[in-house]
Amino acid sequence: MKKKPFFLKKHGIDTNNDTVKSLKVNRHKLKLKNQLIAIFIVISLIPTLIIMAMSMNITTRSTQNVVGDYSQKIVEQLSYNIENYISVARTTMGDIVGFQKLQNYIKKVKQNDMVGASTYFGDVKERVRSTLKTQQAILGFCVLVNDKKIYQEANISFDFDVEAFSASEAYTKVQEIPTSEFYWFTLEADGERNIYLVRKMLNSNDTLLIALVNKDYLNELLELADLKKDISMMIVDAQNQVITSNNNGVIDEKLITYMRESSNTTETLNLSDNLVSFVKTSNGWGITSSAAMDNLLKDYHDDSRVIFIVVGVILLVVILISILISRKITKPIVKMASYMMRVEKGQLSFKQELEQELEYNNVEMHILVKGFTSMLNTLDSMIGKAKAVTSSVYEHTHSLQDMAQDTSLSATEVGKTIESVALGAQTQNKEIEESVTLINVLSNNINKVTDSMEHIREASKQTMSMSEATKVRLTDLYNGAQNTIRISEKVSECVQELGEEAEGIHKILDMIQNVNGQTNLLALNAAIEAARAGEAGKGFAVVADEVRKLSVQTESAISNIASTLQIIEEKKKLTLEQLMMALEVFNKQLPMVNGVTEIFTDIDTKMKEVDISLNNAHHMIGKVVEEKEAVEKKMKYIAQVVEEAVSVTEEVSAETVEQIEASKSITQLADELALTVEQLEESYKMFN
């Protein structure tokens, strides 16, 4: 057999009561003490955790920023030293490249003048050795001409591997650079990667000056910057090859990729839980530092563990204090719960016992007890009044049921009437829609007629314009025909005069022909007389012969002129005949042109009358369109009114249905109210 809960048993609360059983299902609701303990813990713990989280976050970010700034300063200082180192190397290289005796030495070697080259060799060697002693950046020099070593000098054991250099990618890059630029590269020799600086000699693409750079100096700079073993630092060249590092040459691929892709020359960031910094130098090298955040914040994490232990101890103390406070608060509340159970059983006569037994020491409980006592008095009074009201409600419930039934019948009749009105409105609305459709069809036809009228008006105007132009052309044709007739008559007169002159020429030709015959006869007589004269008449015979020849030519010319005059006479007759025919044609065309002109004048007059009629018709169609639009607006308004009427009838119908449903609900509620009254009577019978 299960035991009763201690606090219920202690205060005499029946655990078999329905209310108590329902509370037992959710026992955590009953344990106010535990709720108070939880509230106290939450109130004390949440601010502490929030402050701790904020402190840890701020401290972490502050530490990251400080360490990042410190790391950035170290990398920048190392970059500054390396830039000085690069500058010294370049300056030294430039001095050697500009040394004139070295240039002369190389020139003589190219010319295979070894004797001449030897005169410069001593000075070159002395200058190179002096330069190597005065600085630490470069350890040795090598000169290549057409990939052959012609000179080499160094402070240490140094033998530049020409074959390895020629096979490397750096060799291809060096061929592409201008003579004024430097190129840094690395080559591996004897398991160690050496650093070289190369530059072409002045005005010579086939001569290279290669310098062995002091790598130990870079290692010293890196050791000076390496303050903590957990920080990985390295220097990489432009080909991402490690020049020197403090982590055995292990490359952080993500860091190198980010540095090459970044547009910044220096930056500090958190990359893959590592605090990294980098600086790009002027010769394409990259200086990087990288440290795991866990290593940097190791001391901070150790301190955080101590803080968590302290917070845990504080939390235990808060729990103990919360238990004591909650017990003191919940004791009178549990007592009040027992009295509430007695009220549920119908016991109301324990007010004096409540005031004597219940102990409390705060204002809130005093107000609660006073309110509970007032509630008992009010409940006792309400039960008495409820008994009187119950009988009255029971009587009015039956009246309400009767009224609800009458309302339902009336609403049903109204609904049928509304449905009839709605049906008529819908029919009327359909007829109006059909009328509007017909009006739209009429409107479209009127628009088509208007468009056709516009086309006809345009055609009429074009016809009138063409008629006017044709009249002008016919007038010009008439005037031209008259001018042609006059000109033809003058031409005919000129041809007649030409014929008369040709007849005069015939007469002159006859006369010339007679004279020419006499001349020919005289020439013949002169020839006879000259023959009689003998030698004395030879000259005269020549003249007589020429005169005879001239007479023959004149006869031939007269024959040609006569035939030409004959042709002119024939052409004259033909021309006169053609002119007469043309005059007859033009005389026939003049009346026809006059007739056509009169016809086009009549056409123009008729077309003007048609244009006036079209304007009148267009004006009448415009009025018809305006009246059609007015009718269309009125039909739309009527359709809108009908639609509103249909909508209103639908709403009224819906409201009628709702009213019917409401009357049914009222009837149902009246029945439920009657049942509730009966239950109410049963419930307050338990109170005494």
Distance between CA atoms of residues 642 and 634, nearest Å: 12
Residue pair 198/174 in contact (Cβ under 8 Å)? The answer is yes
Top-ranked range on mean pLDDT: pick from 212-221, 239-248, 578-587: 212-221
Q: Tell me, what's the pLDDT at 341?
A: 77
The amino acid occupying position 10 is K
Answer for the pair 219, 81: CB distance below 8 angstroms, yes or no.
no
**Domain residue ranges of the chain, discontinuous segments joined by +:** 1-30, 61-297
| Among candidate residues 390, 459, 439, 430, the one with its CA nearest the CA of residue 681 | 390
Query: Which residues are paired to 579 by β-bridges?
Result: none
3-class SS string, 501-519? HHHHHHHHHHHHHHHHHHH
What's the mean pLDDT in 565-590? 75
What are the tens digits of pLDDT across the range 388-446? 666 666 666 666 666 666 666 666 665 666 666 566 666 666 766 666 676 677 667 67
Residue (of 37, 602, 78) closest to 323 by Cα position: 37
Res 216 pLDDT > 80: yes
Q: Tokens for 322? A: 């919360």
d(CA 187, CA 175): 17
Q: Measure the CA dihedral 76/81/86/87, to 10°.
A: 110
Three-state secondary-structure class, residue 273: coil
pLDDT at 7: 41
Mean pLDDT of 559-568: 80
Average pLDDT over residues 319-343: 73
pLDDT digit string, tens, across residues 227-280: 566 678 888 888 888 888 877 657 778 888 888 888 888 888 888 778 888 888
pLDDT at 197: 92
Q: What is the pLDDT of residue 286?
A: 87
pLDDT at 8 over 50: no
Q: What is the C-alpha separation between 310 and 224, in angstroms, rounded? A: 41
Q: How far apart are CA 279 and CA 261, in angstroms?
A: 13
Q: Cα–Cα distance between 72 and 233 in angstroms, integer?
A: 12
- pLDDT above 70 covers what percent of the chain? 69
Task: Compute the average pLDDT of residues 353-366.
Answer: 67
Q: Is the pLDDT of residue 527 over 90?
A: no
**508-525 per-position pLDDT tens digit:** 877 887 877 777 787 778
User: Does position 187 have pLDDT exceeding 80, yes or no?
Assistant: yes
- The residues near 414 (Cβ < 8 Å, ≥ 6 apart) are 652, 656
Strands (DSSP E) found in 448-521: none
CA distances for 650 relative to 238, 530, 644, 673, angstroms: 86, 153, 10, 33
pLDDT tens string 660-680: 676 677 777 767 766 776 666
What integer pLDDT is reported at residue 6 of this predicted model? Answer: 42
- Report the SS3 class of residue 241: coil
Tokens representing 570 are 């024939």
Determine the average pLDDT of the residues in 460-482.
72
Cβ-based neighbour number of residue 354 at 10 Å: 16
pLDDT at residue 566 above 70?
A: yes
**What are phi and psi for residue 188, nearest 5 degrees?**
-90, 130
What whole-number distance in Å separates Cα of residue 476 and Cα of residue 469?
Answer: 11
Residue 405: its pLDDT value, please?
67
Does the pLDDT of residue 19 top 50, yes or no? no
Q: Which helix (H) or strand (E) holds 152?
A: strand 148-154
Q: Which amino acid is at 375?
A: M
Q: How far is the first Cα of the chain from the last one, in angstroms, to the nearest whole number?
A: 34
pLDDT band at residue 1 under the 50/70/90 scheme:
very low
More confident position, 326 or 198: 198
pLDDT for 26-80, tens place per residue?
Answer: 444 546 667 767 776 777 677 777 877 787 778 777 777 777 777 788 888 888 8
Under the banding of pLDDT at 50, 70 and 90, the label for residue 140 is: very high
Q: How many beta carbons lie within 10 A of that of residue 200, not counting itself?
A: 21
In this structure, which CATH number among 3.40.50.300, 3.40.1390.30, 3.30.450.20, 3.40.50.2300 belongs to the domain 61-297? 3.30.450.20
Token pair of 303 as six digits: 């301190």
Burial 162-187 (b: 16+ CB within 10 A, else e): eeebeebebbeebeeeeeeebbbbbb
Average pLDDT, the chain: 75
pTM for the model: 0.41
**Stronger pLDDT, 16 or 338, i.e. the higher one:** 338
